[in-house]
Structure 1
Amino acid sequence: MSSEAPDPLQHIGAALFRPLGVEGVYARTALYEDLVERLTAFISRQRDRSAEILRFPPLMSREQLEKSGYLKSFPNLLGCVCALQGTEAEIRAAAERYEEGADWTRALAPADLVLSPAACYPVYPLVARRGAVPPDGLLFDVAADCFRREPSRSLDRLQSFRMREFVRIGPPEEILAFRQHWMERAQRLAAQLALPCRLDAASDPFFGRVGQVMAVSQLQQSLKFELLIPYYAGAKPTACMSFNYHRDQFGVIWGLKDEAGATAHTGCVAFGMDRLAVALFCVHGLELARWPGSVRAALAL
């Protein structure tokens, strides 16, 4: 007899996803995708009209991600793209090793691409190429399919997931005001969707012992907050949105300056699209017709 406790979300997962042989990577059903599309439209209706809209591919420049500092902070989460390189004969020989039962992956070499770990990283080098940041700053609406190497059976920790972000670039007081606005607004949006939530200070999962010090510093400086939603009664709440103040980190790295030469600060509000969608199904059930009227209206169901 198995000693494992039954998964309270098993029936939810069975209705929303189809296994693909790797934990945290799933095919998504029509029921699930329809809700994600409606949730996407709901978030789009909250967008400031001044925001520039960008949709990024699931890949980005390895050099840009290295420069951003991700490799130093989260090397264990990074997914790198590798490829067979060399002459036709060398590539064919590597492919034939598989047929022989040998390890063909030894012939792989890293490409100049990585899987995007967050939607906002490509924004900063893009802005850097444009020149000075205008006095009133910049606002972006970005989205991407993202990857973090965290194999898990839990529905709140996928390896392949979708992230939507509103990114603000400008003077520090503007970034802090932007973040505060969204911390308050996010709770109202959760109420519209009838999702129980609370806001709390948080830290990123920095790697190793040095990372523990970085996490403490991040908490002490109140640089990150999360909107936490429990999937079911008694469950540890899941971070479904985050509100981040990067200070001048990316401004220094990418040389983002205003016309007076002051380094720009950056911040973002991130929507975990898959976590929010799963939360809606967990809280309200699989029968959309029985969801609260206010939620159905908000999502145009």
Structure 2
Amino acid sequence: MTNECVISLQRLDPSQHGQLKYAAAFVDEHIEDIRLEDGAIRITHRSPAGSERIADRVERLIDRFSKGDFGFKEANLFEHSGPMPYRGDIVAELVRTKTIKMLEPGLFIFREPFSSLMRFLDWSFVTRIAKRFEGLGEEQYPAVIHAETLNKTNHFTSFPEHIHFLTHLREDLDVIEAFSQSVREAGGWKAETPLPLDVHMPKPRFTMNPSTCYHCYEGLQDETLEGDGIAVTAIAKCHRFEGKNHIDFGRLLDFSMREIIFVGKPDYVKENRLRSIEYLKELAAEWELDSVIELANDPFFTNDFQVKASFQRQQEMKYELRLTIPYLDKSIACSSVNFHSTTFGNAFNIKIGKRSAVTGCVGFGIERWAFAFLAQFGLDEALWPKAFREQYREWQEKGL
């Protein structure tokens, strides 16, 4: 039976309502829908725990997000108004034309022309932004990452809800044969196939990679850098579980993240970070994107959310480039520009001279950029901005 739970948001600042809605998706696995309406959060569910249990958990989240009086610094570095000639439901259009195949919320197969647009966007970010940094190196990373590496980045305590753990059947002939036989007898793999993790599978040593830059720091562990620092670019498949939030526009389970990563002296990282912001502004204006670059914070899933988030904002450690999605009358973050201070330098013992290295990075969510661009301009290339259309056609003609 479907039930509805309604919790007042009177105690919570409106600026935190979106964060609460996001986090509420992890309150109970039987939640079906979450809405913000009339100063309350409404949760539709089929939980055997009942509405009272869900309400108690949501109140815990409200306590977390309203704790203390830290204040949230707001700042916009850049705003650009674009023409946005297309106003339709772009996801529905992409599905209708079989340009994308939705396997489930947040998981897609991308076909032409979306797949070509993704490649062009990545090529543009490399040639128009990344290669403007002197001495740029390019690296390739695996899709999986050591659990110990995530431990060093504090990912398990900051974003535990996102983690995709990887494991395998134990190296035990009886276990392997029993598993295979159980699947055969059931007529194939089924959701209810018995698979007790503590018996059949060892503790995971790896997870799916949640962020491109972590591999860079892992690769520099215990090294001492020369000069002012290094700039590296890489693209990797990243994975974040976001529960019911995958139904939201642009929240993918599996996505491609191009990053430019800076490791070195404080001035080197800070200056390159500022240059990155200027390059993003240039590209957004040239491509006539309706966009804004604003101060932001990570969605920490911790009891000290307010402390961490406010610290990020006060120190201006994170900016996001947000692109408008006209038919939803909202925007989504498609790029972020981050400064980590010595957090990762200390965690991985990366030195610049005798001091811990400072790090920063610029990220480009390739699928999000493609979704947002098409949401503003549609599939008809005649509606695309002149500069973008010319660059795209030149890229196609060169077969890049």
On whether the aligned pair clears a TM of 0.5, the verdict is yes
- Taking structure 1 as reference, are residues 158 and 102 closer, same or farther at Cα in structure 2, changes over 3 Å only? closer
Find the counterpart in structure 2 of residue 139 from structure 1.
Answer: 231
Measure how far apart 1:95 and its partner are: 3.2
Indicate yes or no: 2:136 matched with 1:51: yes
Measure how far apart 1:211 and its partner are: 2.5
Find the counterpart in structure 2 of residue 256 from structure 1.
Answer: 350
Find the counterpart in structure 2 of residue 104 from structure 1.
Answer: 195
Q: Which secondary structure state, in structure 2, belongs to the residue aligned with residue 109 of structure 1?
A: coil
Deviations 1:125-169 (A, max 9, x none): 21225x311122011011100000014123311110000000001
Q: Which secondary structure state, in structure 1, belongs to the residue aligned with residue 148 of structure 2?
A: helix
Q: Which secondary structure state, in structure 2, belongs to the residue aligned with residue 121 of structure 1?
A: helix
Distance 1:183 1:293 in 2: 23
Find the counterpart in structure 1 of residue 158 from structure 2.
Answer: 73
Distance 1:56 1:289 in 2: 37
Distance 2:149 2:162 in 1: 16
Computed over aligned residues only, the root mean square deviation of the Cα atoms, in angstroms, reads 2.2
- Taking structure 1 as reference, are residues 97 and 104 closer, same or farther at Cα in structure 2, changes over 3 Å only? farther
- Greater shift in the superposed pair: 233-242 or 23-32: 233-242
Q: Percent identity over the alignment?
A: 27
Deviations 1:251-293 (A, max 9, x none): 111111122x011100001111111011111111112244222
Find the counterpart in structure 2 of residue 30 from structure 1.
Answer: 112
CA contact (8 A) 1:192 1:298 kept: no
- Taking structure 1 as reference, are residues 68 and 104 closer, same or farther at Cα in structure 2, changes over 3 Å only? same
CA contact (8 A) 2:346 2:356 kept: yes
Measure how far apart 1:53 and its partner are: 0.2
Paired residues in the alignment total 295
Measure how far apart 1:234 and its partner are: 5.9
Distance 2:122 2:134 in 1: 16
Superposed, 1:107-186 pairs within 5 Å as 107-129=200-222, 131-151=223-243, 152-186=246-280
Tell me which amino acid in the other structure corresponds to 1:154.
D
Instruction: Give 4+ residue runs of structure 1 displaced > 6 Å after superposition.
Output: none
CA contact (8 A) 1:125 1:254 kept: yes
Distance 1:189 1:177 in 2: 19
Distance 1:50 1:297 in 2: 29
Tell me which amino acid in the other structure corresponds to 1:18.
K
Unaligned runs of 5+ in 2: 1-87, 187-191
Distance 2:203 2:111 in 1: 33
Deviations 1:3-27 (A, max 9, x none): xxxx93342441432022x321111
- Taking structure 1 as reference, are residues 110 and 19 closer, same or farther at Cα in structure 2, changes over 3 Å only? farther
Distance 1:143 1:201 in 2: 24
Measure how far apart 1:102 and its partner are: 4.2
Q: Which secondary structure state, in structure 2, belongs to the residue aligned with residue 145 of structure 1?
A: strand
Indicate yes or no: 2:151 matched with 1:83: no
Find the counterpart in structure 2 of residue 3 from structure 1.
Answer: none
Tell me which amino acid in the other structure corresponds to 1:274.
E
Q: Which secondary structure state, in structure 2, belongs to the residue aligned with residue 110 of structure 1?
A: coil
- Give me the TM-score of the superposition, normalised by structure 2: 0.69
Distance 1:234 1:18 in 2: 21
Unaligned runs of 5+ in 1: 1-6
Indicate yes or no: 2:308 matched with 1:226: no
Tell me which amino acid in the other structure corresponds to 2:237.
D
CA contact (8 A) 1:52 1:141 kept: yes
Distance 2:93 2:136 in 1: 35
Superposed, 1:197-276 pairs within 5 Å as 197-232=291-326, 235-259=329-353, 261-276=354-369
Measure how far apart 1:49 and its partner are: 4.8
Indicate yes or no: 2:288 matched with 1:194: yes
Distance 2:202 2:111 in 1: 35
Q: Which secondary structure state, in structure 2, belongs to the residue aligned with residue 205 of structure 1?
A: coil
Distance 1:81 1:234 in 2: 35
